Amino acid sequence: MPAKGKHRIGRMSRLTKICVAAGTGGAALALPLAMSSNAFAADTHVTAANVAATAPTHAAQPAAKAAKAAPAKTAHKYKVVGGDSLSKIADVHHVSGGWQKLYADNKQTVGGNPDLIFPGQTLALGSKAVPSNSAPSADPAPKSSAKSSSETKKAPAKKAPAKSDSTAKSSSSSDKAPAAASSSSGYTLPVSGANIGTPYHQSGSSWSSGYHTGVDFVVSTGTTVKSIAAGTVISAGDGGAYGNQVVIQHSDGKYSQYAHLSSLSVSAGETVTEGQQIGLSGATGNVTGPHLHFEIRTGPDYGSDIDPVAYLNEHGVTV
């Protein structure tokens, strides 16, 4: 058949092929670009999340530092022991403002008389007293905790025998000291090396009974006052005109009284031995100056007095 009767398949021109190829290639090219765009968006999201997660860590650091610094401002406490006074505690612990400030901060605990404090009472020393000394040691402590703990354990072990020996010597010497002024019956003077000022039974309108019911030993404030013999503390506290006083009952049924004390070292119900410290002399109550007022009584209360010098002499103690 002639060639004219056949259908011809049209040929694409060169320009058409290029357009088709470009269209196909454009679609193929668009897909990677879209994927790359999504990946960039994902990376951007993760980075923002990381920044957000990291922010609290940096913000928490100042709070942690503040938490560490906070304990340095806490107030410190001190437990009163025998022989203490407000002035002594204020001096030893460097309380700003002295004993007056210490008393003002603890008036509710001490009460109306700043000269009267008791063993066992807890006093606030204030936030400025001790933290300044203790703060520098706060950082080094954790670094050598193992060494410090071992050294702490070793130190007492080495020093223990020395302390026990010295304690034995001091106790034996203290036992010998009263023996010079005491007798085999176990009595001693209430204060050492003191002279008598106002004697027993001196008359005068200054005393409600019309006479002096004891003897006054001339001593300065802070002199150690001792129990003249073993006994039981009947009372220890404010005695009105007597100021701070201690009354002790002895085995013979007699009572000794120690008045105008600046501080007390014993409490009611406590058992004491001969020569044991029961307080410090002072000028509390109705006095014109510091001294120790000492009485011997047949009963625990005022008005049952007997001659204290004669009583001590009967027990081998020369006044």
Provide the H-helix boundaries in 70-206.
86-92, 98-105, 107-110, 131-134, 140-143, 145-181
Indicate where the chain has its CATH 2.70.70.10 domain(s).
Answer: 195-314
What pairing do the DSSP bridges indicate for beta strands 255-264 and 244-250? antiparallel
Contact 237, 310 (CB under 8 A): no
| CATH number for the segment(s) 74-134 | 3.10.350.10
The answer to whether domain 195-314 has CATH 1.10.599.10 is: no
For 122, list phi and psi in degrees, rounded to 5.
Answer: -105, 125
- pLDDT for the residue numbered 17: 53
Contact 316, 187 (CB under 8 A): yes
Residues 219-265 pLDDT 10s = 999 999 999 999 999 999 999 999 999 999 999 999 999 999 999 99
Contact 90, 99 (CB under 8 A): yes
Which pTM was predicted? 0.47
| Angle, alpha carbons 76-81-84 (nearest 5°) | 90
Residues of the chain with pLDDT under 50: 1-5, 7, 19-60, 63-64, 66-67, 69-73, 127-182
- pLDDT for the residue numbered 225: 98
- pLDDT for the residue numbered 11: 55
Joined tokens for residue 198: 């106002």
For 297, list phi and psi in degrees, rounded to 5.
Answer: -130, 160
Joined tokens for residue 216: 């006054």
**Nearby residues of 179 by Cβ (< 8 Å), 6 or more positions away:** none
- pLDDT for the residue numbered 292: 97
- pLDDT for the residue numbered 72: 46
Q: Which of 230, 243, 228 is nearest to 284 (CA)?
A: 243
Query: d(Cα 263, Cα 137) in Å, to the nearest integer?
Result: 34
CB-facing half-sphere around the CA of 250: CA atoms within 13 A: 21
CB atoms within 10 A of CB 245: 23
Contact 70, 98 (CB under 8 A): no
